[in-house]
Structure 1
Amino acid sequence: MPRVIFIDAQENQFDADIAVGENLMQGAVDNMIDGILGECGGVMSCATCHCYIDPQWQALIPPPSEREEDMLDMAIEPNEHSRLSCQIKITEELDGLVVRLPKSQY
């Protein structure tokens, strides 16, 4: 299983093994990663799974859809590395993925 490294706003690191094919949000929720809530269950209607993908990993993840970009506009402190974790499917190539968490969703 690919390992994902989550880094919170205080630079604390949490590792999680997430199955190939699962989305990043569900993997974070299953591993009790604080900062990824996924209140809507991954249907892109809440932005509570907002995260930042480290730049070195951007090329391995498909770009956000127009709908995802619209939802990211509602996230707190979005930037050019912002993504909704519910829209990122885990692949073998994402082993070691570094995901940074925002200061707060609220």
Structure 2
Amino acid sequence: MGIVRLIDRQGNRHELQALEGWRVMEILRDWGMFVPPRCGGSGQCGMCHVKVAEDWSGKVLPPGELEAKVLPLLPGRGETSRLSCQILWSETLDGLTVALP
């Protein structure tokens, strides 16, 4: 187990326990941090949009083809925007910090 750090829409910080192999979306959903995406985590709806902290952005794998098509359509998109359903948590991401836009 490890930690995902979340900054919610009000600026509050949360430390959430994370499990190896879980998608960041699943971690946030199971801790009740946002409404589950309509697409079920397939990367098509953009409801799980997060902004990865700049110091972590180079440590997560780059967006895949589908995610790269969805990201430009998201309101509030930034340079480090990602779909949390496409980030697979592992020990190398222990302490990962993301923010809800």
Q: What's the TM-score bracket when you normalise by the shorter of the two chains?
A: over 0.9
| Structure 2 unaligned regions, length at least 5 | none
| Structure 1 unaligned regions, length at least 5 | none
Using structure 2 for the length normalisation, give the TM-score. Answer: 0.92
The structure-2 alpha-carbon separation of the partners of 1:25 and 1:62, relative to structure 1 and needing over 3 Å to count, comes to same
In 2, Cα distance between equivalents of 1:31 and 1:56 = 24
Match of 2:88 in 1: 89
CA contact (8 A) 1:3 1:95 kept: yes
Using structure 1 for the length normalisation, give the TM-score. Answer: 0.88
- Superposed displacement of residue 68, structure 1: 0.4
Match of 1:13 in 2: 13
Letter aligned with residue 82 of structure 1: S
Match of 2:40 in 1: 41
Structure 1 segments of 4 or more deviating over 6 A?
A: none
In 1, Cα distance between equivalents of 2:10 and 2:30 = 22
In 2, Cα distance between equivalents of 1:76 and 1:2 = 30
Letter aligned with residue 2 of structure 2: P
Match of 2:64 in 1: 65
In 1, Cα distance between equivalents of 2:31 and 2:53 = 20
CA contact (8 A) 1:14 1:33 kept: no
Percent of aligned pairs with the same amino acid: 37
**Aligned-residue RMSD, C-alpha:** 1.2
